Amino acid sequence: MKRVLTSRIQAAESLGPHLETAPGTRNIDWLARMLQAAVEIEFYTIPPYLTALWSIKDETSPVAASIREVVQEEMAHMAIACNLLSGLGFTPKITDAVPKYPGRLPFGVKGDQEITLRRCDQKAVGVFVELERPDDPHDKNNKELSRTAKDYPSIGRFYSEIRATFMVLRPTLDARAQIHGHLSPLVMTRHEEAIEALTLIIEQGEGSSKKPYDDSPEDLSHYWRFREMQEGWTYEFDPYTEEWDFTRKPFLLPDTYPMAEVPARGYDPNKYPAAAPLLAQFDEAFSRMLTHLQDAWTDGGQGSFWQALEAMFTMRKSARALMEIELPGKGETFGPSFRYSSSLP
């Protein structure tokens, strides 16, 4: 029987005191609390990345392809955290952890960095760069950049603490309640596999201490993918200087729908009847996706996982249709609100 976290973290709670607990004194309950936090942190990044992706008119553009890769990997990271929780005998909480925008990453990770739902422009990309920024990136100007985090200045540092605890506790993981599929590629039974998965999350997001990519030089970490968009140039290894640097190959942001930044709590359908059907369609698809994901990891149901993926295709279609409807008197268009409802027909 799966366990429910006995002292579940609240959205406003800081993880600082928990992360400062010495690795040798941590237990499985501590590990479960941190993995639940990881689920919520990964969840928080996905809607902004999806919104930026869907706002790009040409979905075959290099920038769209790069963001799509980031989204897929973030979904896989969330799935890894859910599988690790399930492997330890706990039920991941997904529908209880729906993010709200504008907002900040939960638990003080990345400090005061505000995150909004907006089209793929330089403002959005600047936020994405800060979300993925490592403590010690391969960035010549890094020492000049400010640090605002109250508890943990990078997502990678947060995961490093979880990884260190797996090294100490060396738990065995039950594979029976873990999900395997296109966006959940890893089922882990040994603590060594958990450590490898957590290292993968860190390197895909930030790069390692020696290189700005994970599997190959063509597969840049999320941080450097967004830096390319920010600078407008590709980032490559120069065999002559034997250093990584920005090249003179353009990597420009493509045309987007003129989507306005989504307001707090989203758009009121009663106020905007022209957009109301699509707003409702998107929120219903989003709610169904989360419900199916929760069901998948609650009962170990592979079928629920695939139903969640189907709901995501409906979300994409509704979101792009919303971005073609003009906001009255604004010269900009609507965007998805990512509202969850547990009351589905």
Q: Where are the domains of the chain?
A: 16-256, 260-345
pTM of the entire structure?
0.90
Question: What is the pLDDT of the chain when averaged over all its residues?
Answer: 86
Structure tokens at 116: 């909004």
CA dist., res. 191 & res. 19, Å (int): 20
pLDDT at 2: 56
pLDDT at 151: 53
CATH of 16-256, picked from 1.20.1260.10, 1.10.540.10, 3.10.440.10, 3.30.465.10, is 1.20.1260.10
pLDDT at 184: 77
Q: For residue 275, what are the contacts with CB-CB under 8 A and spacing of at least 6? A: 267, 269, 322, 325, 334
Q: Mean pLDDT, 10 residues at a time, over the chain (345 residues)?
A: 47 51 78 94 96 97 97 94 95 94 87 91 96 68 36 80 92 91 83 94 78 76 95 91 89 98 95 96 95 87 81 93 94 96 76
Relative to beta strand 103-104, strand 114-115 is antiparallel
pLDDT at 32: 94
Distances (CA, A) of 237 to 67, 129, 234: 21, 20, 10
pLDDT at 308: 85
Structure tokens at 153: 């200045």
CA dist., res. 338 & res. 268, Å (int): 13
pLDDT at 130: 92
pLDDT at 150: 42
Tens digits of per-residue pLDDT, 87-108? 999 999 999 989 999 999 888 7
Per-position DSSP letters for 132-169, written without gaps between them: H--SS-S-TTGGGS----SSBS-HHHHHHHHHHHHHHH
CA dist., res. 296 & res. 291, Å (int): 9
pLDDT at 345: 59
Of 335, 344, 345, the residue nearest 278 (C-alpha)? 335
